[in-house]
Structure 1
Amino acid sequence: MLSYCLFEEENHRYRTSDYVWEVHNNGNLIGKEIATGRICFTWQPHGSQFTIHTVVPDHALKFRIKRPPLLSKETILDSLGFDASWVEIVKS
């Protein structure tokens, strides 16, 4: 999950009459564009997830995150200026 593609797309309303809806063999509801047959929507009722499938334009900015070096716990606490007086251990 270190490679990404960034682009903007104008929000618009979808006319339900432009799509045909059917239940996929895995139980998901899919919406296909009538004009092209392309899958545009997927609803996963078991996970309550709704996905709008979008074609990524050629002008989209593609980038990859290079793995930064791992920081030790001590390095992070030092950079925050952590002081042990911030914490009180309470024994039960």
Structure 2
Amino acid sequence: MAKRWRDAPSPCIDICKYRDAGRCIGCGMTKPEKKSFKRLGGKAEKKAFFRELIARLGSRYDRWAHVYRRKCGKKDVPCPLDRLETRADA
């Protein structure tokens, strides 16, 4: 059985255009955040990263979440968004 947080793919959804104060318009991450995601330690670090990212995305969350869930499905790994509280609670 795959570990949800260990196997979580990068939040990047392959748009990679940095217009929003150095943040990608697709996923909301900066270039250094994209590079450092794979080096995040365990569940707590990745969970905190996703929570911060979700808060940052604001009105773009729904579109990003849809594309990210599809990415997880294509990689055949459990989507970590299913384990986070709803966006309002995060």
TM-score scaled to structure 2, two decimals?
Answer: 0.23
User: Larger relative CO (CA 8 A, sep 6+): 1 or 2?
Assistant: 2
**Structure label with greater radius of gyration:** 1
**Larger helix percent:** 2
- Using the size of structure 1 for normalisation, the TM-score is 0.23
